[in-house]
Chain A
Amino acid sequence: MAIDRRLLTNLDGPLLLAVSLLCGIGVATIWSATKATAHAELYLKQLTAVGLGLVGMAVVASLDYRRLADRAPFFYAASLLALSYVLFFGPRIAGTRRWLLLGGAQLQPSEFVKLAAALFVAKVFAESRKDQLGLADVVPSGIAVGLLSLLIAAQPDLGTAFCLVPLFLAVALLAGLRVRAVLTLALVGVLAGALGWNFALRDYQKSRIYTFLDPSTDPRGAGYQTIQSQIAVGSGGLTGKGFGNGSQVQLGYLPARQTDFIFSVLAEEMGFVGVAVVLSLYLFVLWRILETAQLARDRVGAYLAAGLAATLGFQVVYNVAMVAGLVPVKGLPLPFLSYGGSSVLASLLGIGLILNVRMRRFAN
């Protein structure tokens, strides 16, 4: 498995730098969020995950993405297996079955399923040679991806399950799915949503939506997170309260502060300036990924990059909007920043795939 020297010269250094910066900011923010708690060593675990992720990224980048895409059915089958296994045999932690115990480590298969789904969707649509796609053309692959999504939703982990939707839609649109078909799909989605609301959603999930509509109805319950996050963000001001000095963070008012709400830690302590810097980094990363899609030498590469951009972009936008109180609270980590080994590892592996596509844009 020799790496061509030409490949290395085409390595996307700026993207690598931006992602590393985001990971570094994440580790520092985790340190600040947990330094006054019993989990003050979490930043070290995160640092380890980042290190592992960078190694994994290098490995993924070195394998030709086309060969990986050729094995998409295998990854898809492995995903189905892992998700089913977790659902039936995984340890029950805080009422959910999301984890796989491997040796001493906990792995969250759903994070890696996103990568498998991206390869699978890219491969499927690349093989379609039509310029225009109708609803019928996307139904089989849609069902295949939907199955993964349902298995994740059953854990339950609605946030991650929903991440597969923008991934699939983005690639389908790119491959020529008509907008009218998407609208039809949306209509079906609304109907399914109405049915789901009445028959499938659990009470805690409904209460989250209610509370989002009016946080003050439940200031001590689910609305508490939104209110405290907004207070943290708003009180941060232009330049923040200083690293390690946010009262909302340090006195424990902010929930899930090292995981889903890490961005409000940043917003409180580093202010609007910190927010602008980090959002600019994300913008750069997304821009670079989409550029990679444009530069890709073939459809598989373009679709793979676009699918990853869609799922990454969705996570970033949704998480940041949630921190600002614009959308309901969902358990969705912020890629590269939030504490969580699987999330960091999978995100970096995804970047590995992007580097992979970009590196091989001239290769034969």
Chain B
Amino acid sequence: MRIYEDLRAVQERLVVAQRLVIGLLLVLLAAFWHLQVLNNRYFLELAESNRIRNVPLVAPRGLLLDRAGNLLVENRASFNIVLTPEHAEDLDATVTRLADALQLDEAAVRARIAARPARFRPAVIRADASFADVAALEARRLELPETGVEVVPLRAYPMRSAAAHALGRVGEVSERQLEQEAFAMVAPGTFIGQAGLEARYNAELMGRDGVRRVVVNSRGAEVAEAERTPPVDGPPLTLTLDASLQAALERAFAGRRGSAAALDPETGEILALGSLPSYDPNAFATGVDSATWRALIGDPMRPLMNRVIQGQYSPGSTFKPIEAIGGLAEGVITPQTTIYCPGYLSIYNTVFRCNRPEGHGSIDLRRALAVSCNVFFYQTGVRLEIERIARWSRRFGLGSATGIDLPAEASGLVPSPEWKQRVFRTPWYAGETVSVAIGQGQLNVTPMQMARATAALAVGKLVQPHLVKAIAGRPVEWPPAQDLGFVPEHLEAVREGMCDVVAPGGTGWRARVPGIEVCGKTGSAQVVARARLQRDGAENELIRPHGWFIAFAPRERPRIALAVLVENSGSGAEGAAPVAREILAHFFRVGEPAARPTVPAPAAAEAP
């Protein structure tokens, strides 16, 4: 029988150890209760945000169609080469290989990675990649598993620079725009309309982006799709533009600078709207490169400016029909009034010249319009005085924006004593009225305003010019034309004069279109004083006057009204009237194959 050791002290101490173990495990159990039961919701959300990633599905922007349904702006599929850095095992090596495959600078690749909006979102290394780039990448697919090719819809303008100022362009949303209410729902990096109709109708055209909720693993790779909200395409916009007339308009300028707008005088539908020089909005579709942007911004001829609504010029003699309506309505002249023109008007201690130094002799309204006699309208203006000239100008829509559905429209200026006092704090001089009477002086108009005023001369109504006819097939309700309440005889008298403008012996004979009775008016907007023009005009083209021509046709039941301005072309008669003629000829299909009677082709020619 062996004697057992006395282990009582040891056994007592072991009881402490047992309590310690129970205590520690209870603490742990409490910690897990805290995490798993009390804070379960919080950690579930974290687990979900780990697991689920939202991938936006970009909605294609709405198409732009002309009035006949021809495609003006569309979307094409483009390839973006993307890289998700989180997927890369060795990012440095990947950057080197990718830069090599795409023949890019490594620094450029890194800059693209740094510029992406969020972690785990692929960085676009090359937008709108060529097939060659995509092929180069595919060939090295095994070396570059973390890169991919994304197909994204890209804005495309198949007519390139045609109607660029009406259609507009897209560009990445700017930081300043992101702060605005209108772009509250727009994510950084999104392309939005930045000019023209693209900007004005951006909210409609964008449609609604969809989203894919995908399950991703810890390396960010997609494992499964949890949910899909498909994108809602932007609705198509049917425009009032006529693509073929638009092309004719831009052809008619033949490389000259200027702008023109043609509209339906009854409805205000704009049939063509061109500003030249133009630019190719396709260059902006993937984000314009800085060299192209600097060239466009720095170009002294300002190709980005929409001259139709942003160019402000003196109307010159195209103002005379408007003043004539005012003079007739106010009773200071009648259709029969004759005024003697000695070739100048000497008034207020100043001599105001007529355009014909030797004078027109005794002349009435009709003839004064046809030959653009300044003295007749000096006298009319003096009798009307500036307040009434201003009032009648405004009735024709001058001095305020037309409200066309394009952004950044200029309002022009109708001067008045009140205006001069407010802006310059000097009184109105009577001599200024004489200048305004022939459309010079401070009077400033946009070609769009003149096109609308011409429509008012054609039909006696002030229309709301607009470019969009229907959105997603539903007609847009535009404010109806506003009857100006002109006396028919007065309108008739002015139209007779405008008809004579285009007749032989009129200043605008170059705008004559065979078989169509065209009413028009020439004008020239002085750029510098007459003396300087005579001294330097020969060598400096930019100080020559701008040529105007306004017209509507046919005389009975007019279907088109237009205003043409050709910058520095010297005179409306020589510079602008021929452009108007080309547009009108195309509109009425004069001298074009489509106007000829169609002869049925022989059956044999059609056989396959």
B-binding residues in A (CB < 8 A): 131, 170, 173-176, 228, 230-238, 247-248, 251-253, 267, 271-272, 275-276, 279, 282-283, 286-287, 290, 293-294, 296-299, 302, 306, 309-310, 313, 317, 320-321, 324-326, 364
Contacts and interface: CB of A to CB of B under 8 A. Distances in A.
Contacts of A287: 18, 21-22
Given A290-B18, A299-B10, A251 B40 contact: no
Given A173-B13, A294-B11, A267 B32 contact: yes
Given A299-B7, A321-B28, A235 B13 contact: no
Interface in B20-54: 21-22, 24-25, 28-29, 31-33, 35-37, 39-40, 42-44, 46-47, 50-51
A267 B43 CA distance: 13
B605 interface: no
Contacts of B46: 231, 234-235
Contact of B36 (A233, A253, A313, A325): A233
B37 A231 contact: no
B44 A237 contact: yes
B29 A252 contact: no
Nearest to B29: A279
Tell me if A's interface is mostly helix, strand, loop or mixed.
helix
Nearest to A236: B36
Considering residues B10, B35, B216, B218, which has the most beta carbons from chain A within 10 angstroms of its beta carbon? B35
Tell me if B's interface is mostly helix, strand, loop or mixed.
helix
A308 to B, nearest CB: 12
Contact of A321 (B7, B13, B31, B44): B31
A306 B7 CA distance: 13
Contact of B2 (A230, A306, A364): A364
Contacts of A238: 36-37, 40
A247 B43 CA distance: 12
8 contacts: A174-B10, A234-B35, A235-B44, A247-B47, A248-B50, A253-B218, A293-B10, A298-B7
Contacts of B9: 131, 176
Nearest to A36: B217
A304 to B, nearest CB: 12
B4 interface: yes
A293 B14 contact: yes
A324 B32 contact: yes
Given A238-B37, A247-B50, A324-B32, 16 more contacts: A230-B43, A231-B46, A231-B50, A234-B35, A234-B36, A234-B44, A235-B46, A237-B36, A272-B32, A279-B28, A287-B22, A298-B4, A299-B10, A302-B14, A324-B31, A324-B35
A232 B31 CA distance: 14
Contact of A234 (B22, B25, B43): B43
Contacts of A325: 35
Contacts of B17: 170, 174, 290, 306, 309-310
Given A238-B37, A317-B28, A320-B28, A251 B14 contact: no
Considering residues A247, A276, A297, A325, which has the most beta carbons from chain B within 10 angstroms of its beta carbon? A247
A173 B25 CA distance: 21
B89 to A, nearest CB: 14
Contacts of B39: 234
Contact of A235 (B7, B25, B31, B43): B43
Interface of B: 2, 4-5, 7, 9-11, 13-14, 17-18, 21-22, 24-25, 28-29, 31-33, 35-37, 39-40, 42-44, 46-47, 50-51, 215-219, 223
A231 B7 contact: no
A233 B35 contact: yes
A283 B25 contact: yes
Nearest to A239: B36
A313 to B, nearest CB: 6
A275 B29 CA distance: 8
Given A247-B50, A290-B14, A324-B28, A283 B36 contact: no
Contact of A252 (B25, B33, B42, B219): B219
Contacts of A267: 32, 36
B140 to A, nearest CB: 24
B25 A251 contact: no
A235 B52 CA distance: 14
Contact of B29 (A173, A276, A302, A309): A276
A297 B223 CA distance: 60
Given A251-B223, A290-B17, A302 B47 contact: no
Nearest to A275: B32
Contacts of A297: 4-5
B253 to A, nearest CB: 60
A320 B39 CA distance: 18
A286 B7 contact: no
B33 A272 contact: yes
Nearest to B218: A252
A104 to B, nearest CB: 29
Minimum-distance CB pairs A-B, first 7: A234-B43, A252-B218, A235-B47, A251-B217, A235-B43, A272-B36, A237-B40
A282 to B, nearest CB: 7
B50 A282 contact: no
A275 B17 CA distance: 23
A232 B28 contact: no
Contacts of B215: 247, 251
Contacts of B36: 233-234, 236-238, 267, 271-272, 275
B336 to A, nearest CB: 91
Nearest to B1: A364
B10 A302 contact: yes
A247 B9 CA distance: 51
Contacts of B11: 294, 302
